[in-house]
Structures are given as structure tokens and as C-alpha cells.
Amino acid sequence: MAPLPNSHTEPDGSAVLRVLSYNIRSMRDDTDALARVITACAPDLVLLQEAPRFFRWRKKLARLAAASGLVVLTGGATAAGPAILCSLRATVERTEDVLLPLTPGRHRRGLATAVVRFGGARLGVISCHLGLDAQERYAQGGLLLDRLDGLGVEHALVGGDLNEDPAGRTFGLLAGALQDCRAVAPWGGEETWTRGAPRRRIDAVFATQGIEVLGCGVPLDQPGVTPADLAAATDHLPVLAALRVPAVAREAA
């Protein structure tokens, strides 16, 4: 299988980016293995779920970012778990952490959001972790799309743990409004939940129309990513996508 393209800015100002979505289980597992997986994927953006939320959570998240050659962009406890890391290629316009309505008796959910630039490309970004209850999850999917529209950008992406596979109603809601990157350009492995039966694809990266998807999947054959590290890092497998984001059109003089 051909490798994913490396990150770069093209002469027309468009940007080829690597985006990683990863549920890291509050960094309760082997954090060295986790950092090695992230580093080997060479991402420009990392959309985390279940980032640390409690004692010294900022320090833990900053330590993971530094070990992976990245910086913390936003999220963590302030978004109820989702977070975004980025490379130094990114120019940050703004960030916002959003708490979703709380269903009594269930975990608080939230969104980590940002608008960033890479070269001439401007991009909205959302990391999400949707609920376990189907009705709550569907409502959260609608709120996520509303928030995406509210970012006010032409091009955007969403990555996260959806807690359901492509046959689910919420997955279908998102895939109907956005490109399901894995379905558009399959690359690498498919299932992201392999710790129990059935094995399922419950983590995904989505992109708005106009973004070219160059490949997306679990980086099983990515150089430097080993089965041992994937097994030790957390209980989910990551999703790596390569995307070409168009440059922002220049206004006429």
C-alpha cells in the first residue's frame, strides 16, 4: 500500500495536511508508546478524545504534546475530554471549548474547536466524543454540525470517537453532511475498536466538500508504528488522514 503524502504547502497556497484522530483513554496506559505512535504519524493536527480531565490535566496533556513534537491548541477538561494538538506549522486564529447539554445520569460531553491556517489554507477543526445513548448521540451530532457551520469557514474537518459504526443513525447524519474520509479514500486498516467482538469502525475523520481526501485509515503500516505500541498506547486504534485543503481565495483588488 502506498504511503500517505507528507505534509507540505503547495505553490498555489493550498496545504497537504496529516490529521490524526485518537481516543487516548485519559493517558492511563503506556504514554511512551502513545507518544511514539503519534510521532510516527507525523501529524499537523491531532484530534484527541478522552484527554486527561482531572488532577494536573494540563501538565499531562502538555507533556504528551511535547513528547510528540507538538503543542496543545485547545481542549482537555474545559471541553470534557476532547482536545486538539498541532504542529508549529499552524497559525492559530481562535479556539473555543464547548460543553454540550448534560443528560442527567450520563457523562458530560463537549467539543474542542479551532480555526487555524496552514500556508494559504484556512481550516475549521472540531474534536468530538459522542455519547453512549443513541438518542443523546444523535442530538449531539446535530449540535456538532451546527457548531461546524458556526465556525464561519469554507473548509473544515471533524474527528472523533462516535461510539457507533457507519450503519448507525448519527454516523449517517455526519456522513450525509460531510465526507467520511475513510469511505472516500480507504487506506490502512478499517476497524478502530478491536478489544472486543464485534470489531468496529467507531472512530472517524470527516471533511467538508472541497477538501481533497488523499487517504484515511488506521496507520497499521505507517513506518515507526508497531503493533506492540498500538496495543500498549490505549484501547482504541487511531485514524490517520491525509487531506489537501484549498487556499483561501484572494479578494479582487
Q: Can you give the residue ranges of every domain in the chain? A: 10-245
Domain range 10-245, CATH architecture: 4-Layer Sandwich (3.60)
Per-residue pLDDT tens over the stretch 174-230: 999 999 999 999 999 999 999 887 899 999 999 999 999 999 999 999 999 999 999
pLDDT at position 252? 36
Tens of pLDDT, residue by residue over 50-68, are 999 999 999 999 999 999 9
pTM: 0.97
What's the pLDDT band for 118 if we cut at 50, 70, 90?
very high
3-state secondary structure the chain: CCCCCCCEECCCCCEEEEEEEEECHHHCCCHHHHHHHHHHHCCCEEEEECCCCCCCHHHHHHHHHHHCCCEEEEECHHHCCCEEEECCCCEEEEEEEEECCCCCCCCCCEEEEEEEEECCEEEEEEEEECCCCHHHHHHHHHHHHHHHHHCCCCCEEEEEECCCCCCCHHHHHHHHHCEEHHHHCECCECCCECCCCCCECCEEEEECCCCEEEEEEECCCCCCCCHHHHHHHCCCCCEEEEEEECECCCCCC
Is the pLDDT at 73 greater than 70? The verdict is yes
